[in-house]
Amino acid sequence: QSVLTQPRSVSESPGHSVTISCTATSTAVGAFDYVSWYQHHPGKAPKLMIFDVTKRPSGVPHRFSGSKSGNTASLTISGLQTEDEADYHCCSYAGGYTWVFGGGTKLTVL
């Protein structure tokens, strides 16, 4: 079982908002301040969407936002578009210059 727990799948309609959670089940991730999120379309390179919990790289639409409450980090996508349909992975620094990932969430935009 992964140190970071994500729902296996979520679905929502175009134009709506969806939130994907990432819950730390181990204290190995410390204060959980270094969470990143990746969007992965099958067959393509995973793409960084959020880093350091809330920060968005240049070029990533403002529709993507990150947050954290306690031991749960979240990725929210507002104004869903069909091209947002992908797998989403959370990642956290786990100390000792190591990193852990969640199990990934498949987002379906109906």
Partner 1 sequence: QVQLQESGPGLVKPSETLSLTCTVSGDSVSSDSLYWNWIRQAPGKGLEWIGFVDYSGNTNYNPSLKRRVTMSLDTSKNQFSLKLWSVSAADTAVYYCAKQSGYNNWFDPWGRGTLVTVSS
List of residues contacting partner 1 (CB under 8 A): 2, 6, 34, 36, 38, 43-48, 51-52, 57, 89, 91-93, 96-104
Pick from 95, 76, 74: which is nearest to 84 by CA?
A: 76
Nearest approach in angstroms of CB 46 to partner 1 is 5
Q: What angle do CA 68, 72, 76 make, to 5 degrees?
A: 60
Nearer to partner 1, 79 or 95 (CB): 95
The DSSP bridge pattern shows strands 9-12 and 64-69 to be unpaired
Residue of 45, 108, 43 lying closest to 82 (CA atoms): 108
CB 16, min distance to partner 1, A: 26
Q: Find the shortest distance in angstroms from Cβ 76 to partner 1.
A: 18
